[in-house]
Amino acid sequence: MAKKSTTEDQKIAASEEKKDVSYAVIQVGAHSHRVAEGDRVLVEWDNAPFNGEEVPSEISFDKVLLSKKAGTEAVVGTPTVEGAKVSAKVLGLKGGEKVVSYKKTRRQGYHNKKGHKQTFVEVEIAQLP
């Protein structure tokens, strides 16, 4: 039997550390995000869980699809975990990459160029369920 190298031992130790981390999977609009405490996540402005033009300092996500605390088994919701909320601190607004759409019809004099820049809300996860 061959001796394991130190890099293999380090990989095994790192994977065991990841298993003991608390995390949750939240749904925001059509996207789902795996988050842990202290993570920074970009959420689309249209799907952010608040109303109005003013950006609040804290928000909470009610649609928690999966919740796992360190040292325990994961709780999977059907479709969401009842009573679970993830609270987050709003850091600010960010603009995404510019997306350009260009259409052209050959020899007809038709061309159409449109651009779009999505607005995101950057949040830092403060508390897991």
For every one of its 129 residues, what pLDDT tens digit does the chain have, with 9 covering 90 and above?
555 566 777 766 666 666 678 999 999 989 999 999 999 999 988 877 776 667 888 999 999 999 999 888 889 998 999 999 999 999 998 999 999 999 999 999 999 999 999 989 999 999 998
Report if residue 11 sits inside a domain: yes
pTM above 0.75, yes or no: no
What pLDDT is attached to residue 34? 94
Domain count, the chain: 1
Asked whether the beta carbons of 43 and 91 are under 8 A apart, the reply is no
Residue 88 placed within a domain: yes
CA nearest neighbour of 70 among 18, 129, 20 = 20
pLDDT of residue 51: 67
Q: Cα-Cα-Cα-Cα dihedral of 63, 64, 65, 69, to 10°?
A: 180
In angstroms, the CA 58 to CA 124 distance is 9
Structural domain includes residue 1: no
Q: Confirm whether 108 is domain-assigned.
A: yes
Is there a domain that residue 69 lies in? yes
Q: Is residue 105 part of a domain?
A: yes
First to last CA, the chain: 45
Bridge partners for 46 per DSSP? none
Structure tokens at 59: 């928000």
| Contact present, 50 and 28 (Cβ < 8 Å) | no
Q: Please indicate, yes or no, if residue 64 is contained in any of the structural domains.
A: yes
pLDDT at 66: 94
Q: Which structural domain range is residue 64 located in?
A: 6-127
- Expressed in percent and rounded to 5, the helix, strand and coil fractions of the chain are 15, 50, 35
pLDDT for position 88: 95
Residue type, 36: A
H-only helix segments in the chain: 6-19
